[in-house]
Structure 1
Amino acid sequence: MEEIEVIFYIEGLGNDKKVLESAIRQTAEGLKNEKGVKVKYVRVEDVLENEDEDILKYSGVIEAQIAGDLASLVRLTLKYSPAIVEVLRPGKLEVDSKELMKILGEISLFMGKLMQQFGGLAVYPKLDDVPVPRIGYEREEIEELIVEDRNILYRFVIEVFGENEEGIKETMAKALSLEGCRINKLVVQGQTEDGKFKGLLAAELLSTFETMFQLTGKYAPVAISIIEPEVVDITANELQNTLTDLGGFVNELVTRPVKRQIMEKKNTEFKLNP
C-alpha cells in the first residue's frame, strides 16, 4: 500500500499542569516508539494556562510528522485521536476495496468497544418533517454516480432498536439521507420482545469515501462490504477530512465523563448562585 505522510496535531487538556505535562510526555514517547510507521519528528509545545476555565484550565499540543500506509495511519488516528490531521503527500492515492474493507472493519470494532463504554454517536434533530428519501436506483444511475461523482456502492449492516419495524426503517432512511447517502436497498429484520423491536438493518448505499468512513465511525456496523468500484481513489483533502473526523469521534467519546463533570459543576454553581 502506498506510503502517506501526515502531521498529527494532538491536544491535551487537564486541571493539573504537572499531570498534563507528564501525560503529554508519555504520549510523545509513545509516538516516537510506534512500530510499522516512520516518525519524522515529535514536537511538544509548552503547556499553557487558560484562566477562564475552572476545570480544564491547562492545555498542551503535540505535533508529529508520520509516514506510513493507510491502515497504520488509521490505527494511530484511533489510538491518539488527533484534533487535526494534515496530509502532506500524496495528492491522491488508490486503495484496493478489499484492503479498505479490512480498515473499515478495524474502525467498526474499535468504535463499537468505545460506544459500549461511553454511549452512541449518531444523534439527529427531529426527523418528523424530513421527507422520506427515494429508495432504489437504476443501473445506469448507479454507474453514473460511481464514475462521474466518485461514489462508492457498499452494503452496511447495523443493529437497530425501536418501537416497530416500519418506524425504524423510515427513521433510518431519513437519517442515512441526511448523512449524504443515496439508498439503493433498505431492509429491516428482527423481532418484537416486551413491546420493543430489536433486529438488524441492512442497506445498500451510495456515498462518498468520507461519508462511508463517517458512517462506520458513528454506527460501528456489524458488517460492511464494498461492492463497487474495485479500486477506490482518495484525494489528500478527502483523507485528511476523514482522519480528522475519526479523531474527533474518538475524542468525543473518551472525554464524555470529563464533560459531564463540567456540566454538573456548572449546574451546581447556577443553583448555588442564582
Structure 2
Amino acid sequence: MEPIEVIFYIEGLSNDRKALESAMGQTAESLKAEKDVEIRDIYVDEIVEDPDNDLLPYSGMIEARIRGPFEVLVDLAIRYAPAAVDLVSTDSIEIPAKHLTKILGGVSYLMGQLMEKFGPLAAYPKLDELPEPQVGYSREEIESLIIDERMLLYRFVVEVYGEDENRVEADLKKALVYEGCRINKFAIQQQGENEETNRKRFLVAAELISDVETAFQLTGKYAPVAISVVEPEIVDLNPSEIQGVLSDLAGFAHELVTRPLKAMAIEKANTSFKLMR
C-alpha cells in the first residue's frame, strides 16, 4: 500500500498562555516521535490572545505535514484529534478485507476509550416517523451494490441498552438506515439487566451493506465489540473517501475531547445570565 500524505491542523485552547505553549510544544515533540510515519514538516503557530474570550482567551495551532500508511494516519487522526485534515495525496489505495477489518477494530478500540471518558456520540432525531427498514437482500442485489456502487458487506456486533427489546430493535434498525446502511441480517439478544434502573443490556449482531465512509462512521460512533468485512476481498478507497474517513474520525475525536471546554463555556454563560437577571 502506497503511503498517504496529509496535513493535520491541531488546535489548542487554554486560559493560561504558558500552559498552552508547553502543551503545544509537547504535542509537536510527540508527533515527531511517532513511528511508522514521516513528519515532513511541522509548524507551531504563535499563541493568539482573544481579549473578548473570558473563558479560553489563548489559542494556538500546530500544522503538521505527515506521510505514512493509511492505517497509521487513521490512528493519529483519533489520538491527536486535529480540528481539520487536508489530504495532499491524489492516489487511490487498495486494502484487503482482512486488513480493513483490523483497521476498523483499531478505530473501535480508540473511540471506545474516548466515549468511555467523554460520553457517547450516536444521537438521532425522532425516529418514530421513519418507515420500517427492509431487512434482507438477494445475492444478486448484494453483488450489484458491491460491484456497481462500491459498497461493503460487513458484520457488526454492538452492545446497546434500553428498557424494551422491541423498542430497542426498532430504533436501532432505523438508526442504522438513517446512517446510510442497508440491513441484510439482524439479531438481538438480551445479555443482562440493571435491577435498579430496569435498563437491559442487549447484544445486537447485524450484517450491513454500506459505503466505506459509512462503515468507518458507524464504527467510530458505536465502537462495536466486533466487526468483520466480508466482501469485497479488496476494498478500493479513492482520495475523496480517504479525506472523508480521516476528517470524520478526527471530527469525532475532536468533538469528544473538547466537550469539557464546551461544558465550561455553557456553564459560564448560564451563570452570567442568572447574575444579569
What TM-score does the superposition give when structure 1 sets the normalisation length? 0.96
Output the CA distance in 1 between the equivalents of 2:269 and 2:37: 43
Output the CA distance in 1 between the equivalents of 2:51 and 2:129: 44
Q: Identify the match of residue 249 of structure 1 among 245, 252, 257.
A: 252
Greater Cα shift, 79-88 or 178-187: 79-88
1:60-96 C-alpha deviation (Å, 9 max, x unpaired): 1111111111121112112211111112224211111
- Give the number of aligned pairs: 274
Output the CA distance in 2 between the equivalents of 1:261 and 1:46: 24
- How far did 1:205 drift? 0.6
Q: Identify the match of residue 269 of structure 1 among 261, 267, 272.
A: 272
2:274 maps to a residue whose letter is K
2:259 maps to a residue whose letter is R
Output the CA distance in 2 between the equivalents of 1:129 and 1:153: 27
Q: Give the SS at the match of 1:89.
A: coil
Unaligned runs of 5+ in 1: none
Contact 2:191 2:203 in 1 (8 A): no
Q: Give the SS at the match of 1:82.
A: coil
Q: Identify the match of residue 230 of structure 1 among 228, 233, 238.
A: 233
Q: 1:65 to 1:262 in 2, by over 3 A?
A: same
- How far did 1:122 drift? 0.4
Aligned residue in 2 for 1:38: 38
Aligned residue in 2 for 1:219: 222
Output the CA distance in 1 between the equivalents of 2:255 and 2:86: 20
2:262 maps to a residue whose letter is K
Aligned residue in 1 for 2:152: 152
- How far did 1:2 drift? 2.1
1:147 maps to a residue whose letter is I
Aligned residue in 1 for 2:121: 121
What TM-score does the superposition give when structure 2 sets the normalisation length? 0.95
- How far did 1:51 drift? 3.0
Contact 1:5 1:90 in 2 (8 A): no
1:91 maps to a residue whose letter is D
1:54 maps to a residue whose letter is D
Contact 1:154 1:226 in 2 (8 A): yes
- Is 1:108 matched up with 2:108? yes
Unaligned runs of 5+ in 2: none
- Is 1:210 matched up with 2:213? yes
2:64 maps to a residue whose letter is A
Output the CA distance in 2 between the equivalents of 1:65 and 1:196: 47
Trace 1:145-224 onto structure 2 (pairs within 5 A): 145-191=145-191, 193=193, 194=195, 195-224=198-227
Greater Cα shift, 120-129 or 220-229: 120-129
Output the CA distance in 1 between the equivalents of 2:113 and 2:149: 34
- How far did 1:18 drift? 2.1
Output the CA distance in 2 between the equivalents of 1:233 and 1:118: 33
Contact 2:155 2:229 in 1 (8 A): yes
2:139 maps to a residue whose letter is R
Greater Cα shift, 73-82 or 43-52: 43-52
- What is the RMSD computed on CA atoms of the aligned residues? 1.3
1:128 maps to a residue whose letter is D
- How far did 1:172 drift? 0.3
Output the CA distance in 1 between the equivalents of 2:255 and 2:102: 24
Output the CA distance in 2 between the equivalents of 1:217 and 1:191: 23
Output the CA distance in 2 between the equivalents of 1:191 and 1:94: 38
Greater Cα shift, 51-60 or 148-157: 51-60
1:154 maps to a residue whose letter is Y
Greater Cα shift, 143-152 or 18-27: 18-27
Aligned residue in 1 for 2:135: 135
1:249 maps to a residue whose letter is F
Output the CA distance in 2 between the equivalents of 1:192 and 1:97: 33
Output the CA distance in 2 between the equivalents of 1:102 and 1:212: 13
Output the CA distance in 2 between the equivalents of 1:40 and 1:103: 24
Output the CA distance in 2 between the equivalents of 1:192 and 1:33: 44
Output the CA distance in 1 between the equivalents of 2:84 and 2:246: 8
Contact 1:124 1:175 in 2 (8 A): yes
Aligned residue in 1 for 2:96: 96
- Percent identical among aligned pairs is 55
1:9 maps to a residue whose letter is Y
1:223 maps to a residue whose letter is A
Contact 1:164 1:192 in 2 (8 A): no
